[in-house]
Amino acid sequence: MLAVAGELTKLPIFGSMDIPHNKLSHFFQSSHYFSVDQVREIVLLFAEKEIAKGHLLLKEGQVSNEYFFLEEGFMRAFVYDVDGKDVTTAFSSAGQVVFEVSSFFNRIPSKENIQALAPCKGWYITYEQLNHLFHAYSEFREFGRSILVKILTDLKNRALSMITETAEQRYEHLLKGNPDIFQNVPLKHIASFLGITDTSLSRIRKEYAKK
């Protein structure tokens, strides 16, 4: 269960000299849970990380231990089905927090892989550091709760869409809600995310273009 939450608010809240990790700072400040001083203290706990295209942030069988803010790039989560087929389960873009929530909080091996689809850059803290923030700041507990609510809501909506919507409807909602995906992700990954074949996706795209 990949956690993907939060959108970067493009507001000039801080100057680049005021607080380090400027985009990460914007992410926390735009949640409206934290003061400027709290944001400064929180972001200093994060370490920078770069991931080359095609490389993994998390591999199946590992315990997810990094709460990762994606500053640049595009990522996907995927699993292998019973036939060994690669199936995409989620996408992540810049301005989102990325981690495998079940593995991370339950401290169990992940069933998902998280892969960089482009050169990625971001900031992370460990499980232990995140727990420190939960204990140190009541505001961070509320912030964390809001992130988890969004994750659960998104997962529920996705599960329902796979049952109640046609492939064409799922394609249209993805296109309207996340147009960047079609510019950054190979179509085969989009097809597996939508639960259809590459051929079906090609047909749906052609038919939609005629509307």
pLDDT tens digits along 143-193? 999 999 998 999 999 999 999 999 999 999 999 999 999 999 999 999 999
Query: Which residue carries 């998902």 as its tokens?
Result: 112
185 and 145 co-located in one domain: no
Domain stop point among 164, 179, 196: 164
Higher pLDDT pick, 9 / 118: 118
For residue 6, name the pLDDT band (cuts at 50, 70, 90). Answer: very low
Predicted TM-score (pTM) of the model is 0.86
Q: Which domain holds residue 197?
A: 166-211
**Can you give the CATH number for the domain in which 154 is found?**
2.60.120.10
Q: What is the pLDDT of residues 39-64, one digit of tens each?
A: 999 999 999 999 999 999 999 999 99
**pLDDT on residue 1:** 56
**pLDDT on residue 14:** 35
Q: What is the pLDDT of residues 106-129, one digit of tens each?
A: 999 999 999 999 999 999 999 999
144 and 179 co-located in one domain: no
113 and 173 co-located in one domain: no
115 and 208 co-located in one domain: no
57 and 120 co-located in one domain: yes
Q: How many domains does one find in the chain?
A: 2
For residue 21, name the pLDDT band (cuts at 50, 70, 90). Answer: low
159 and 180 co-located in one domain: no
Mean pLDDT for all residues in the chain: 90
**pLDDT on residue 11:** 30
112 and 65 co-located in one domain: yes
- How far apart CA 202 and CA 206 sit, in angstroms, is 6
**pLDDT on residue 209:** 87
Q: What is the pLDDT of residues 184-207, one digit of tens each?
A: 999 999 999 999 999 999 999 999
19 and 47 co-located in one domain: yes
108 and 135 co-located in one domain: yes
**pLDDT on residue 20:** 52
87 and 66 co-located in one domain: yes
Domain stop point among 128, 149, 164: 164
40 and 85 co-located in one domain: yes
34 and 97 co-located in one domain: yes
